[in-house]
Structures are given as structure tokens and as C-alpha cells.
């Protein structure tokens, strides 16, 4: 495809590399929204991102946060979200590299928001085959930050995290920060007063071709980083086979095209929000009658 002209999609910050992926002095060629870009690491914390191919090259803004390098093609992008957990000194901060997923970015976000699949796709880990019920929860559009939240979520989990010693009723808070980023807070097995923070930031290469980054700020003194990464990657690759086999890959916003139930309240809120912002990139256009 050519570079998208959708101004809504273009005015978002998206990741284009994870910090540590590129050696100092080296560069990585990648793509956002159909636009070829080159990410050069010019210093320990310094990156330079430029477009190439097509029009005359231009330099893009860069930020390094949450283990990722972010850039944007927009002139007036939405700010990156504040996630204070990443600044707490005792947290284990890690990314999981990046994982390729051949679908639209919205399918990835919706899957991350969804509790009803835990028993079937993350069996014996995030859900039990005999405890499939999703209890009612609330969603809200927080207009001050223009984010979608799902609150009062609970689900029975046999092994909620690498640190969990057994089954627990896990409390979740979900937060959609942009069309291409989502995160959750879930209560820590060993300390009920604190929450693990797990994010997914999506780099849309093309409409149905994405790279997913999963920065985490975890409360866990025991596990090795290898264990924490392995747990999160295992979960994500259980989802990936689903994501790549949803049809169509583009997201339908027509509410009669795919039929939700109460457990999908967060997906419904997310789709309504996408529709209201009139985003076109990666969205299934209405078929001509």
C-alpha cells in the first residue's frame, strides 16, 4: 500500500523499535502506516528517525519511553500516555522485543481487552475450563484524557502471573490510551495493594500487518527476567494464532457485522470510540449494496 492519508491514524505516536534492538551507530529499516522509515541509534539514549522512499526524506520526532522508541508522522499528535508505574524504583521493567502479527491493530487491542477467551485460549493459566463466566463490569470514556477504561473487572485465574502460587480471583483494570495502545493493571498475587502494569503498543506497518511491543512494570522479586518474558510471550503467542485467523482482518465497525454480548462491553466501547473519531486506516469499509 501507499502511505495512509488518514489524518486520525497519522496523528498518533507509535513504536518503531525497542530500546536495545539497535546497536549504537547502527540503523534499522522498518515501516509505519505504509511509510518506509529508518531508525538510527546515534547514542545510548538517542535515536534519529527519517522517512525514505517516495517523497523527499524528512526527519520525524522521536521519544524513548516504556522500553520503546516512538515516532509519529503527524503534525499534531496525541501525547504519549503517562504510566507512572514505570517510574517506581522496585519494579521489574522489561519489554518482550516485538512480535509480528498479520492483522489490523484493532484486533490486537480488542483481544487484549477481552476476558471471555481466557478459559479457551489461556487454559489453566489465565482461565479455567470450568469457570468461564465473565461478571459484569463497567466501561467509561474518560473525556479529560480521551481514553477508554474498563473497571471492576474480575476473573478467576489458575496461574495469573509468573509469581502466582495458585488460583486467585484477579481484579483487572483496562485502559485504552490510543487506537494503537492498550494496557491493563492486575492485582499482584503477593501484595494486594499493588498492580502489575502490562502494556501493548502497536506499530502498524500496513493495515493488516503489525508489530506488537509489550512493555511491563511488574512487582515480582523472585522470577528472572527470562521467566517474566517467557510467561508474557507464551500468552501472546497463544493469542497470535487467534488474531491471524479472524476474518476479516480489517475491523468492522458496523455493529450488525459481528455480534457482541455483554462480556464484550469494552470492545463495544472501543469500536464506538474509533467510529466517533472517524479513523479509516485498518477499518473495514462498508461494502457497496
Partner 1 sequence: MSVAQGRWTGVALDHQIQPASSNPVVLNGQALAVWRGEDGPVRVWEDRCPHRGMRLSFGFVRGNTLRCIYHGWAYGADGQCAEIPAHPALAPPKTICANSYPAETRYGIVWTTLGDGASGPPDLGPDEGWEGVRSLFVAASAEAALTALARFDFGAGATTRMLAGDIVEVSFGPELRMLVVVQAMDDERAALHAAAKGARATEERAALAKRLERLRADIEQA
Partner 2 sequence: MTIRLYDYSLSGSCYKVRLMLGFLGLDYDRVQIDFYPGRQHRSPEFMEINPLGQLPVLEDDGLRLRDAQAILCHLANKHDDSGQWLPRDQARFGPVMMWVMFAGGELMAASAARLHDALGYDLDIEAARAKARAAFRVLDDHLTGREIDGGKWIVGDTPTIADVACFPYVALAGDGGLGHEEYPALRNWMRDFRRLPRFHAMSGIPEFV
SS3 130: coil
**Interface characters, 94-113, with partner 2 (x: CB under 8 A):** -xxxxxx-x-----------
Residues in CB range of 64: below 8 A, 6 or more apart? 19, 45, 47, 70
Q: Tell me the C-alpha distance between 278 and 7, whole Å.
A: 10
Rule CB under 8 A: say whether 247 interacts with partner 1.
yes
Crossing angle (nearest 10°) for helices 265-276 and 105-113: 150
Q: Tell me the C-alpha distance between 249 and 231, whole Å.
A: 26
Q: Which does 132 bind (CB under 5 to 8 A by kind): partner 2, partner 1, none?
A: partner 1
Rule CB under 8 A: say whether 120 interacts with partner 1.
yes
> What is the nearest approach in angstroms of partner 2 to the Cβ of residue 166?
19
> What is the nearest approach in angstroms of partner 1 to the Cβ of residue 116?
4
> What is the nearest approach in angstroms of partner 2 to the Cβ of residue 245?
7
Q: Are 116 and 132 in contact (CB under 8 A)?
A: yes
Nearer to partner 1, 85 or 264 (CB): 264
Work out the burial of residue 78: count CB atoms within 10 Å of its CB; fewer than 13 is exposed, 13-18 middle, 19 or more buried.
middle
Count of residues for the chain? 289
**Residues 16 to 45 in contact with partner 2, rule: CB under 8 A:** 18, 20-21
SS3 9: helix
Q: Tell me the C-alpha distance between 90 and 201, whole Å.
A: 23
Nearer to partner 2, 124 or 140 (CB): 124
Q: Which stretch binds partner 1 (CB under 8 A): 31-39, 80-88, 221-229, 251-259?
A: 251-259
Buried/exposed 252-279: b ≥16 CB within 10 Å, e otherwise: bbeeeeeeeeebbbbbebbbebbeeeeb
Rule CB under 8 A: say whether 248 interacts with partner 2.
no
* Among positions 59, 133, 146, 254, the unique one binding partner 1 when judged by CB under 8 A: 133
Nearer to partner 1, 5 or 261 (CB): 261
Q: Which stretch binds partner 2 (CB under 8 A): 14-22, 69-77, 266-274, 275-283?
A: 14-22
**Residues 128 to 167 in contact with partner 2, rule: CB under 8 A:** none
Nearer to partner 2, 124 or 191 (CB): 124
Cis peptide before 208 (omega within 30 of 0): no
Nearer to partner 2, 10 or 235 (CB): 235
> What is the nearest approach in angstroms of partner 1 to the Cβ of residue 111?
9
181 backbone dihedrals φ, ψ, rounded to 5°: -150, 145
**Residues 223 to 242 in contact with partner 1, rule: CB under 8 A:** 241-242
Residues that bind partner 1 (CB under 8 A): 110, 114-117, 119-121, 132-134, 241-242, 245-248, 252, 258-264, 267
Amino acid at each position: 500500500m501507499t502511505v495512509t492519508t488518514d489524518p486520525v491514524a497519522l496523528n498518533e505516536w507509535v513504536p518503531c523499535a525497542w530500546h536495545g534492538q539497535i546497536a549504537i551507530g547502527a540503523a534499522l529499516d522498518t515501516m509505519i502506516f505504509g511509510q518506509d522509515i529508518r531508525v538510527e541509534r546515534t547514542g545510548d539514549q538517542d535515536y534519529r528517525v527519517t522517512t525514505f522512499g517516495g517523497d523527499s526524506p524528512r526527519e520525524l520526532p522521536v521519544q524513548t519511553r516504556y522500553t520503546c522508541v516512538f515516532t509519529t508522522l503527524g503534525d499534531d499528535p496525541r501525547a504519549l500516555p503517562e504510566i507512572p508505574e514505570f517510574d517506581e524504583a522496585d519494579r521489574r521493567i522489561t519489554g518482550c522485543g516485538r512480535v509480528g502479527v498479520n492483522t489490523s491493530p484493532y484486533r490486537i487491542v480488542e483481544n487484549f481487552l477481552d476476558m471471555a477467551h481466557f478459559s479457551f485460549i489461556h487454559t489453566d493459566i489465565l482461565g479455567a475450563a470450568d469457570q468461564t463466566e465473565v461478571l459484569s463490569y463497567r466501561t467509561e470514556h474518560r473525556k479529560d484524557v480521551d481514553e477508554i477504561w474498563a473497571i471492576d473487572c474480575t476473573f478467576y485465574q489458575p496461574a495469573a502471573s509468573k509469581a502466582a502460587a495458585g488460583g486467585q480471583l484477579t481484579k483487572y483494570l483496562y485502559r485504552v490510551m490510543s487506537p494503537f495502545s492498550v494496557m491493563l493493571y492486575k492485582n499482584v498475587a503477593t501484595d494486594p495493594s499493588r498492580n502489575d502494569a502490562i502494556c501493548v503498543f502497536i506499530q502498524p506497518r500496513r493495515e493488516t500487518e503489525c508489530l506488537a511491543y509489550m512493555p511491563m512494570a511488574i512487582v515480582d522479586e523472585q522470577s528472572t527476567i527470562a521467566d517474566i518474558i517467557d510467561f508474557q510471550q507464551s500468552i501472546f503467542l497463544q493469542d497470535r494464532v487467534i488474531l491471524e485467523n479472524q476474518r476479516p482482518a480489517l475491523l468492522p465497525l458496523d455493529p450488525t457485522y459481528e455480534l457482541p454480548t455483554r462480556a464484550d462491553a469494552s470492545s463495544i466501547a472501543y469500536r464506538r470510540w474509533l467510529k466517533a473519531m472517524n479513523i479509516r486506516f485498518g477499518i473495514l469499509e462498508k461494502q457497496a449494496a
